[in-house]
Structure 1
Amino acid sequence: MAPYMSQLEKGSPITGQSLLEDTSLPAAAILESALANNIAWMQRFADDHGAQLAPHGKTTMTPALFRRQLDAGAWGITLANAVQCAAAFEHGITRLLMANQLVGSPNMAIIASLVERGADYCCLVDSAANVEALNRFFAERGLTLQVLVELGVPGGRCGVRDASALAALVDAIAAAPAITLCGIEGYEGLIGGEHAVERVRTYAGQLVATLRGLMDAGAFGGRKPIVTAAGSQWFDLIAEAFDQADLREHCTSILRPGCYVVHDHRSYRDALAEVKERHPELEGGLQPALAVFAHVQSLPEPGLAVIAMGKRDISCDPDLPIPLQRHRPGEPARPLQDCATRKVMDQHTMLAIPAQSDLRIGDVVSFGASHPCLTFDKWRQILRVDDELRVLEAMPTFF
């Protein structure tokens, strides 16, 4: 088994072969045409708003996709922790925005090593205690650490909550010789509920106002600061707030969506529809690119197909897998109508099918998902395929 897996991870035995007939299933696959569309569409959106793009790499942890995004014009890659940053750096990604706090000496040691080797790295801070710990560690190594102040929201995640906490944090950074303040960061993705659009716009305005206040106070020492936010749901509202003439000239605004690269079949599909409603002038759009392909392995009773795919293969959060098409070699793919996922176990999916369904044992069914992050992390490699489902590339993941 070991030699076979070594070859499989490199992609050599399956490149150019049929996903349906020559590949061990289940398998996760990305459609090249949709992938290329999505990368170009979001890069164009950022460019049109005078912003840089730092896609959130934790979505895919797939260096081949990082490289595609950078080659299309991305400023850098966003990561969530020190180990992810190290994995990206080892695959040639040198500009790393860690949208999280760096806590704990072992994690600091990982980042110090990357900085020593030339990484352009910054992380978030929201407390004087964290700043003091970072300063001690990096000063002992003779290094300087770049940080962004995180501005939080009440009831949200990390980040300072009020003006007094912000002032104390900025003072702590100014007193830490090994720490350099290079901007301000926020995350609007946890804002929801009634009046969410207005609340996101208000928060984005607070980010901009806070940045301007810090610039006026000379907190950045003459450096061109960063202002960054934007997940995959509200990126248009953040881009609107950042797209102002004085900000374009005096700061670097960075958008950080991650899931756009493969989009999805429900939650982000619905979010994009709302973006298009707010901005009917936008041309084109994102396309679902990621699906998991698996065999029908049993038809044990009327109205039920058991699919050889489970929680270890595809996300079940926030929605159960979405049946897309039936695939049969030599025949066109057919939509799966009146079918619904009823239950997902570790390795099995129970698919409710109509009584007159022509599904056969051995047929291949493709499934989509919401929130692609939680599908990528189940795979050691993702297959990139063309419109005829021929394998173009096996792309290793590094979770």
Structure 2
Amino acid sequence: MSFTLNIAAVEKGAAPVGAHLVRDVSLPALVLHRAALEHNISWMQQFVSASGAQLAPHGKTSMTPALFRRQLAAGAWGITLATAVQTRAAYAHGVRRVLMANQLVGAPNMALIADLLVDPDFDFHCMVDHPDNVADLGAFFAARGQRLNVMIEYGVVGGRCGCRSEAEVLVLAAAIEAHPSLALTGIEGYEGVIHGEQAVSGIREFAASLVRLAVQLQDSGAFALERPIVTASGSAWYDLIAESFAAQNAAGRFLSVLRPGSYVAHDHGIYKEAQCCVLGRRSDLHEGLRPALEVWAHVQSLPEPGFAVIALGKRDVAYDAGLPVPLRRYPAGVVPAVGDDVAACKVTAVMDQHAFMTVAPGIELRVGDIISFGTSHPCLTFDKWRNGLLVDEQLQVIESMPTCF
């Protein structure tokens, strides 16, 4: 006797709408809580709008088109991305305005963008910080008979990309002007590489220099737009950038664009700490962002007293900026689900597929229990998943959210 076993591929963390986290879902799974997610999208949009700026959230955080659509529907001006491939993915899912906060380098990547520029409704801007890149872009897009929008990236010594001085910015602007296939549409910076005890004053000085350069370039007629773009802001210092832009009237003379990305999911680690600092600086903000992202996993083994091995590892959750944070424990299969606080437990190490967790006194676990974990640095948690599960207050799946990394 012979038979054929028809087995469909099952993606990690996938589940149908209507499934319940503690009863129906193969774990581990990436979980997004609807109430917190909606709060965060609304909160940041209101903050940026009240600051007189526009929001172009950094999509590389999640690369989740369902989140892009929600952010745009809430009023986002566009989506920020980091690469040509990410830009193509976002375009395929309906995004029509992109700030690529990075240099467009290499002919194959240029070709990916050139194909999209055939669409007259696609508004794209990338960064340049060196004459070599300007020359390469100018030649490539001239040969295609196209004009590419570029923005000068202004950086800090010891930081990431970007011209290192105001003089270099002015030289680069002249180089761009020499290429009719390039249009200078603004200036961009990233303050997240400014650290130390004087970070706050350093960021304010950097933002002031950014706007000062924009004014100088505009006065010299360097920009191709009547209202050029001035943009900065990651997910930690967006309040300082918004204040600096507003104080220098950047929103009046320029289009001020802020680019935080991690706010959409927030976290239980580095961005939770950053948000506390924002609220400390801004007494008018009575409520901040809420952690919307968790990773759920089973207790896999209890080999020693006070020690649990969790079916969760480096392939499931970020570990670069802090280890996963135990939140609540749920008995598997029990609905309605009522969780117990297990915050006193602590993850001490993660391997490829396992996490080591100390079990606090008084907490009784059994193999098969489910634990929800908070994360630190959502960017490097999202990119480990092809699907996220949006759940309601009853922990029922209401939407599967594919990623496109």
TM-score range, shorter chain: over 0.9
CA contact under 8 A between 2:157 and 2:164: conserved in structure 1?
yes
Shift of 1:220: 1.3
For 1:365 and 1:208, the matched residues in 2 are separated by: 48
- Runs of 5+ unmatched residues, structure 2: none
Q: In the alignment, which of 2, 8, 12 is matched to residue 4 of structure 1? A: 8
Aligned pair in 2 of structure 1 residues 279, 349: CA closer, same or farther (>3 Å)? same
The residue number in structure 1 matching 2:40 is: 38
| Deviations 1:39-69 (CA, angstroms, capped at 9, x unpaired) | 0000000000110000000000000000000
Structural mapping, 1:19-34, within 5 Å: 19-34=21-36
Residue pairs, 1:47-196, within 5 angstroms: 47-118=49-120, 119-196=122-199
Aligned to 2:402: 396
- Secondary structure of residue in 2 paired with 1:240: helix
**RMSD value over aligned CA atoms?**
1.7
Tell me, yes or no, if the aligned pair for 2:349 and 2:355 is still in contact at 8 Å. yes
Indicate which of 361, 378, 394 corresponds to 1:372.
378
Please name the residue that 2:367 is paired with. Answer: 361
Identity %: 53
CA distance in 1, matches of 2:53, 2:320: 31
| Partners of 1:248 and 1:163 in 2: CA distance | 21
Is residue 2:250 matched to residue 1:243?
Answer: no
Preserved contact between residue 13 and residue 30 of structure 2 (Cα < 8 Å): no
Do 1:57 and 1:78's aligned partners in 2 also have CA atoms closer than 8 Å?
Answer: yes
Structure 1's 9 and 307: CA in aligned 2 closer, same or farther, altered over 3 A?
Answer: closer
SS in 1 for 2:180: coil
CA distance in 2, matches of 1:259, 1:59: 6
Q: Trace 1:260-299 onto structure 2 (pairs within 5 A).
A: 260-299=263-302
Q: Deviations over 1:336-372 (max 9, x none)?
A: 0421001111111111003432111111001111110
Please give the per-residue CA displacement for 1:159-200, whole angstroms capped at 9, x wherever unaligned: 111133112101101100000000000000011111111111
- Conserved? CA contact 2:269–2:376, under 8 Å: yes
Distance of aligned partners of 1:143 and 1:340 in 2 relative to their CA distance in 1, 3 Å threshold = same
Conservation of the 8 A alpha-carbon contact between 2:13 and 2:387: no
Q: Does the Cα contact within 8 Å between 1:43 and 1:74 map onto a contact in 2?
A: yes
Please state whether the residue corresponding to 2:134 is helix, strand or coil: helix
Deviations 1:200-235 (A, max 9, x none): 111011111111111111111462100000000000
Following the alignment from structure 1 to structure 2, what is the Cα–Cα distance between the partners of residues 332 and 96?
42
Cα distance in 1 between the residues matched to 2:145 and 2:237: 40
TM-score w.r.t. the length of structure 1 is: 0.96
2:236 to 233, 236, 250: 233
Per the TM alignment, residue 299 of structure 1 is displaced from its structure 2 partner at its CA by 0.7
Contact residue 327 and residue 364 of structure 1 kept, 8 A: yes
| Contact 2:79/2:99, CA 8 A, preserved across alignment | yes
Bigger drift between 313-322 and 350-359 goes to 350-359
Counterpart of 1:257 (choices 260, 268, 272) is 260
Distance 1:64 1:303, change over 3 A: same
Please give the alpha-carbon distance, in whole angstroms, between the structure 1 residues aligned to 2:7 and 2:281: 53
SS of the residue 1:17 aligns to: coil
- 2:40 match: secondary structure: helix
Which residue of 340, 351, 354 corresponds with 1:345? 351
Amino acid at match of 1:46: V
Tell me how far apart the structure 1 counterparts of residues 196 and 300 of structure 2 sit (CA, whole Å). Answer: 41
Residues in 1 aligned to 2:7 and 2:397: alpha-carbon distance in whole angstroms:
21
Amino acid at match of 1:59: T
Does the 8 A contact of 1:100 with 1:123 survive in 2?
A: yes
Alpha-carbon offset, residue 286 of structure 1: 0.2
TM-score by length of 2: 0.95
Q: Secondary structure at the match of 2:227?
A: coil
Q: How many residues align?
A: 397
Letter in 2 for 1:52: Q
227-236 or 205-214, which deviates more: 205-214
Structure 1 distance, partners of 2:346, 2:83, is 37
Instruction: Name the residue aligned to 1:16.
Output: 18
Deviation larger for 188-197 or 31-40: 188-197
Contact 2:186 2:230 survives alignment (8 Å):
yes
Deviation string 1:273-292 (CA, Å, 9 cap, x unpaired) is: 11111111113210000000
* Farther off after superposition, 136-145 or 347-356: 347-356
Give the secondary structure class of the aligned counterpart of 1:130. helix
Amino acid corresponding to residue 81 of structure 1 in structure 2: T
- Shift, 1:327, TM fit: 1.3
Cα distance in 1 between the residues matched to 2:383 and 2:288? 25
Q: Equivalents in 1 of 2:215, 2:262: separation in Å?
A: 30
Q: Secondary structure at the match of 1:243?
A: helix
Q: Distance in 2 between matches of 1:325 and 1:359?
A: 12
Question: In the aligned structure 2, how far is the partner of 1:393 from the partner of 1:356?
Answer: 36
Mean CA deviation greater in 317-326 or 327-336: 327-336
User: SS of the residue aligned with 1:169?
Assistant: helix
Correspondent of 2:201 among 174, 184, 198? 198
Between the aligned partners of 1:2 and 1:373, the Cα distance in structure 2 is 36
Equivalent in 204, 210, 213 of residue 213 of structure 2: 210
Q: For the residues of structure 1 that align with 2:13 and 2:294, how far apart are their CA atoms?
A: 21
